[in-house]
Each structure stands twice: as structure tokens, then as C-alpha cells.
Amino acid sequence: MKAGIMCVGTELVTGLTQDMNALFFSQKLVHQGVFPKTVLFVPDDKYDIARVFRFLLQDTEIRLIIICGGLGPTDDDFTKEVIAEILGYQLYFDEGTWQKIRQFYQKIRGIEPPENNKKQALVPQGAVVLTNELGTAPGLKIEVEGKQIFVVPGVPREAEFFWSFIQQSIHEEERLPFYRSKILKFCGIGESQLAIFLQPLLRSLPADVRFAFLPKYGEIWFYLYAYQVDEEKRRKMDEHLDLIARSQYDFLFSPYGDTLEEAIGKLMQAQNLTLAIAESCTGGLLGDRITNIPGSSRYFDRGYIVYSNRAKVEELHVPQNLLETRGAVSEEVALYLAQGARENAQADIGMGITGIAGPQGGSEEKPVGLVYVAIADATQAEVKKYQFGGDRLMNKRFTSQAALSMLFTFLRRRKTA
């Protein structure tokens, strides 16, 4: 069985509201062995809703259709009306549905529902009404031309409530067993570089086993997946995944934790190390992310936010002439920040960050998004140059991610040295 999902709402297509329903239903369907072939978003427009609904109806591979949104009591809610018109069904006022809406209002708000809520009691003939225990808009189930159609409210909590009805409609013989391996998470390496390194191993995968690379803010997530998986195929997939993990182990952080911050914390504690950091352009974001992990006080000693040149000189003794000759955003200043933070705090490791977050402050020589990140311990120090191209908040986020990746790979090398 393959499915189609249509999410209705002008707020979704304009970016005012982030969709959660397509994500929820896609994940649920896949784990039930149903492939979500098509996911579409449409505004609150009768023509667009009709066009997309006809498209889903005409796709012979799609036998399950889930439609979210447009079931409210206001004049911009007409999903139900469009569906009824296309299918040639008349709308009728369902007294039982209306009484449930009244009971909901009386129980939750202690009042009678407004008159326009009667619109929610209009039901297409031939549809099965699905009671909504979390709101006033009922769900609908319609069977037509070998397809099952579910129409549910757009409010995510209410939409998710109807999953049990959808799940019950999927018969065992229609499921295509699906298996996804655990996710390997890498940092400190780019997607294209990782793909090249893994190429020989990926070529040896069975033909029906697929893989996916998912770039996420400086991290690369990787997994294998396949349909019609038995225990033997699952075992072979897991063996391949172990080979892939071992081949790039220096960049693999997921064995240590679900997040990069968590992985760093476990490595810091395992090596009995302490950390101090000095941040300029990130304004404390790196320290915030590190201390989001419970127990981080065991290894995180302190952080300096040295945003101005004066702060860099007074707090961490960066030479004034260095700031004047090389500039605050330079390799040399980043190293001074890392070493100064470590020495002042008497920590095992120090980190320094300096850069231009934007949107002002850049030049031809030093454009917006230019960042230097340095790391140092008692025996070695290194600094990396990055050039990001986002807005101010994105540049800060990417910089903190680069710093975490750099710290993780530093700790991995230190552990294996």
C-alpha cells in the first residue's frame, strides 16, 4: 500500500506555522509498512484543494489518503465542502455530531457553542464520522474507488488522535515490512567527503538495501533501510553498518550520545578533563550548549564572553598591538583566547572563538561569516578557519557547531594517542 498526504492551510505554505502533521503521519505510515508516496501542502483555497485532491484520487498506486486541516467553523475552512463536491456527495446536518460538539463546549468551556460551529456538524453522505475527543471538528472516513480517505483536523494534537483509526484500516496483507538501521551520526567531516570514503562499502550493499545521508547543521546522519526484511537480512544490514561505523570511527559521535554535546561530555568525563572557553562572536552560545547536558559541571569550568577588544585585553591578556596589526578576527587572536582561557582557569583544555556574525562589520578581506576557532591543551594547539554564509543567527549556530565538532575530534585523537 502507498499513501498520499495533503495538509491544508495558508499558514503552512507561507511559513507562518511549521507543519507537524505530515511528519507525524509519514513516520507512522512507514513503520506500518505503508510508503508515503506523496506529501503536498496547499493554501486555504478551494481551487488548490480541489486540484490536489483530484491528483491524489487519480494516482492508482495511492490507496490511502490522509487530509489534514480546513475543518474549522470559519469561512476559510472548506476542505469538507470541496471533497463532497468532487465525490458528488451531498452534505447533511448530523444531529449526533452537533450534540457531541455541544457537550464538548459545555464540558470544557461551560457555554453553548457559537452558531457557526454548526458548520462542523455538516457531513458528506456516505462518510463515517470519527468522534474527536480533543476538539470540536470530527474526523471523516470515506471509501471510494478502492481508496480509503481520512479527513482529520489540522491541530497536531487532534490530528494525531485519529492515527488509531487510520492504523486499524491497514490490513496485514497490505503492509510491506520496513526496517531502518540505527542512525550513525558524524561530525568534523563533510557529506561529500564522507560519501567518498564510504563508497567501497556502499557498493557492496545488497541491491534492495538503500542508504541515506542527512546533513544537519554541521553533522551528517547516516542510515540503511529496506523493505521486506527478515531476520537474516536485518543481521546482514547491521553487519554492514558496523563496518561503516568502524571505517570512520574518528568522526562518529553517536556511540557516545544522541547529541554532540552529550558525546563530548562523556569523553571529557572518561578522560577526566576540564574545559574553559573564550567566546567573542558567539556571545556565550557554545557555553550554553555545553551546559545543556546534566552533570556538565564535572568538566566545564568556566566561560569568558570577551566581545569587545578591551575585554580580550583585560580578561585574557590578548596583546593590544596584535589586535591592531592582525585584527580581532584572526588566527592569532583565536589562539590567544584558547590559551588564555585555559591558563586563567587552570583547565586541561581551552577553546577560543572569534569571528564576524554580521550583518555589518565585514570587509572584502574579512567578509561576514569569517570565523576562527582554536583549541589548546598543555602540549598542542590548533586553529581552524571557517567561512559561513548565513544570517547573524545562522552564523552563530554554525560556529558553535564547528567548535563542538572540533572539540569532539580533538578528544577522540587524544583518547587514541
Instruction: For the chain, give every residue range classified as CATH 3.30.70.2860.
Output: 179-252
Per-residue pLDDT averaged across 286-311, rounded?
A: 98
- The domain made up of 179-252 has a fold known as Alpha-Beta Plaits (3.30.70)
CATH of domain 2-174: 3.40.980.10
User: Where does 59-189 have alpha helices with state H?
Assistant: 79-87, 95-108, 156-161, 163-168
Confidence label for 173 from pLDDT (cuts 50, 70 and 90)? confident
Residue 417 has pLDDT above 70, yes or no: no
Q: What is the pLDDT of residues 227-278, one digit of tens each?
A: 888 889 899 999 999 999 999 999 999 999 999 999 999 999 999 999 999 9
User: Where does 305-369 have alpha helices with state H?
Assistant: 309-316, 320-326, 331-345
Window from 6-10, 304-308, 317-321, 389-393 with minimum mean pLDDT? 389-393
Confidence label for 416 from pLDDT (cuts 50, 70 and 90)? low
Instruction: For the chain, give every residue range classified as CATH 3.90.950.20.
Output: 260-416
Residue 43 has pLDDT above 80, yes or no: yes
What is the domain class of 260-416 according to CATH?
alpha beta
Percentage of the chain exceeding pLDDT 90: 89
Window from 65-74, 118-127, 168-177, 377-386 with minimum mean pLDDT? 168-177
Mean pLDDT (the chain) is 95
Residue 176 has pLDDT above 80, yes or no: no
Rounded Cα–Cα distance for residues 392 and 360 (Å): 9
Q: Which residue has the higher pLDDT, 85 or 173?
A: 85
Instruction: For the chain, give every residue range classified as CATH 3.40.980.10.
Output: 2-174
Give the pTM: 0.75
Percentage of the chain exceeding pLDDT 70: 99
Per-residue pLDDT averaged across 102-125, rounded?
A: 93
How many residues in the chain? Answer: 417
Q: What is the pLDDT of residues 131-147, one digit of tens each?
A: 999 999 999 999 998 99
Here the cell at position 214 is: 542527512
Rounded Cα–Cα distance for residues 394 and 386 (Å): 13
DSSP secondary structure letters along 136-199: S--EEEEEETTEEEEEE-SSHHHHHHTHHHHHHTS-GGG---EEEPPPEEEESS-HHHHHHHHH
3-state secondary structure of 54: helix
Tell me phi and psi for residue 342, to 5 degrees. -65, -45
DSSP secondary structure letters along 277-315: EEESTTTTHHHHHHTTSTTGGGTEEEEEE--SHHHHHHH
Neighbouring residues of 45: CB distance < 8 A, sequence distance ≥ 6: 10
